[in-house]
């Protein structure tokens, strides 16, 4: 699990080294300026990279994270560094995708969160992984994640 911090960002405005692992990364949160409103915040990471735990070869994914915040928002620089820390991390697609969702939920305790991991083929088979924390809050407009199923070159 990533380290978490109190709601006072420590990474903003500083040059910071890339964390070497998700355990070393620090996820930070900031106060939600509209805690009484249900709205969706989306982060898209189209160039997510991790390592195959068996071969050590790089794996690539397009991640889409949607959440309905409660009291806090995830601080985006810390999220970018956290996601980048997986570049040296060996884990299966399912583990990476679900772990990211769980780590963000542990930090924020959002009203709702989902993550779609659209992984590029490994061994000729694309693997898509989807996880969500529960039911979408009533009345929330939730757009499609907009990532088509893998089709190869055509």
Which residues are marked as active site?
52, 59
Given a contact cutoff of 8 angstroms between Cβ atoms, the answer to whether 12 and 76 are in contact is no
Q: What are phi and psi of 74, to 5 degrees?
A: -80, 135
* Three-class DSSP category at 16: coil
C-alpha–C-alpha distance, residues 52 and 148, integer Å: 23
For the chain, list the strands marked E by DSSP: 3-4, 26-27, 29-31, 41-51, 58-68, 72-74, 112-119, 128-132
Give the rounded distance of the alpha carbon of 3 from its chain centre.
15
């Amino acid at each position: 699990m990533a380290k978490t911090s109190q709601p006072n960002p420590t990474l903003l405005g500083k040059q910071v080294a890339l964390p070497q692992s998700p355990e070393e990364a620090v996820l930070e949160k900031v106060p939600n300026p509209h805690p009484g409103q249900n709205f969706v915040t989306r982060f898209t990471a189209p160039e997510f990279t991790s390592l195959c735990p068996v071969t050590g070869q790089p794996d690539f994914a397009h991640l889409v994270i949607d959440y309905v915040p409660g009291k806090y928002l995830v601080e985006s620089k810390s999220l970018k560094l956290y996601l980048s820390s997986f570049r040296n991390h060996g884990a299966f697609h399912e583990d990476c995708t679900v772990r990211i969702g769980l780590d963000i939920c542990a930090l924020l305790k959002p009203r709702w969160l989902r993550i779609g991991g659209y992984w590029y083929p490994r061994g000729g088979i694309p693997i898509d992984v989807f996880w969500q924390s529960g039911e979408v809050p009533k009345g929330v407009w939730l757009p499609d994640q907009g990532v088509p199923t893998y089709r190869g070159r055509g």
